[in-house]
Amino acid sequence: MARASATRLSVLVRHNALLMFREPGPLLSRLVLPLVFLTLLRPLYVAAQGRTEGTEQAVVSTLVTFSLLALSISGSAILTERLGRTWDRLRATPLHPAEILAGKSLPVLAALLTQQLLIIITGIHLFALSVPHPFLLLAVLLAWSCTLLALGALLGVLARTMGELSAAFDIGGMLLSSLGGALVPLSALPGWVASIAPVSPGYWAAQGLRAAFSGDPTTVLTTCAVLLAMATTFAALASVRLRGRSGRMVAL
């Protein structure tokens, strides 16, 4: 059974990767725009916080904000199946809902990690970003990417139209990034924002990234645990939405 599941999963991963590369526009925009954002806005952060802290803030701001906006890649992969009338074909196969989600998520995971690593590499080579603890940073990036995948999948099974999905990503992404203290440090925002900031996944991503840059393994471990708990919750809700009483996928 495990081998059959792995075979089905590999087919889905290849299929969804092919679909992503056939329409590369959204992916390319999510890879290029963050680098432009980082280059243009870094001087503002440096002027306000100094070279080292300003560069770190620019990288954190860019990474969290644009990875949240990249949720569109994950959610669209599911919603496109529904709008294209191919969802019923998937329902007729032996595929488990978890296999559907994983098959669509793994190519997106690769895209998200590529986006984030490009931002980090640009910060290192162009702006002298210091990354003394790369394994701590990688742990945060992986936990954050899992959270993004699960949240994108949940929105993909809940939205009814591309318009709804786009609004959820654009508004929700900027809101979660701003409330999390990624775009602007929480110390510069009203006190009520800081009190509700932990509700946002972006808050934990920003905290984890800053802790990874400074070499604080305790904070990195805490933020990764919270992010993975959020990812598990989002994924469970998406899976429940996909399953009927019989355990088979339902029409959406």
Rounded Cα–Cα distance for residues 192 and 56 (Å): 25
**150 token code pair:** 């699960």
- With 60 as the cut, is the pLDDT of residue 245 above it? no
pTM of the model: 0.84
Q: What angle do CA 64, 70, 75 make, to 5 degrees?
A: 130
| CB-neighbour burial class of residue 192 (10 A; exposed 0-12, middle 13-18, buried 19+) | exposed
Computed over every residue of the chain, the mean pLDDT equals 83
Smallest CA-to-CA distance from 60 within 126, 108, 125, 116 is with: 116
Express each pLDDT in 162-205 by its tens digit: 788 778 877 888 888 888 888 888 887 888 888 899 999 999 99
Q: Helix (H, G, I), strand (E, B), or coil: what is residue 243?
A: strand
Position 69 scores a pLDDT of 80
* 230 has a pLDDT exceeding 90: yes
Pick left, alpha or beta for residue 50 (phi over 0 → left; psi -120 to 50 → alpha; otherwise beta).
left
Provide the CA 175 distance to its chain's centre, in angstroms: 14
Q: Give 53 or 16, the one with higher predicted confidence.
A: 53
CA distances 202 to 68, 79, 184, 208, Å, are: 8, 24, 12, 10
Percent of residues, the chain, with pLDDT higher than 70:
83
Phi-psi region of 69 (alpha: psi -120 to 50; beta: other; left: phi over 0): alpha
**Helix/strand/coil for 55:** helix
* pLDDT score of 106: 81
**What DSSP string runs through 172-200?**
HHHHHHHHTTSSS-GGGS-HHHHHHGGGS
- Per-residue pLDDT band for 91 (boundaries 50, 70, 90) equals low
**What local confidence, expressed as pLDDT, does residue 249 receive?**
45
More confident residue, 244 or 227: 227
Summarize pLDDT for 113-131 with one digit per residue, the tens.
Answer: 999 999 999 999 999 999 9
Alpha helices in 23-161 (DSSP H): 25-49, 51-69, 71-83, 87-91, 97-127, 134-158
Return the CA Rg of the chain.
19
pLDDT of residue 82: 66
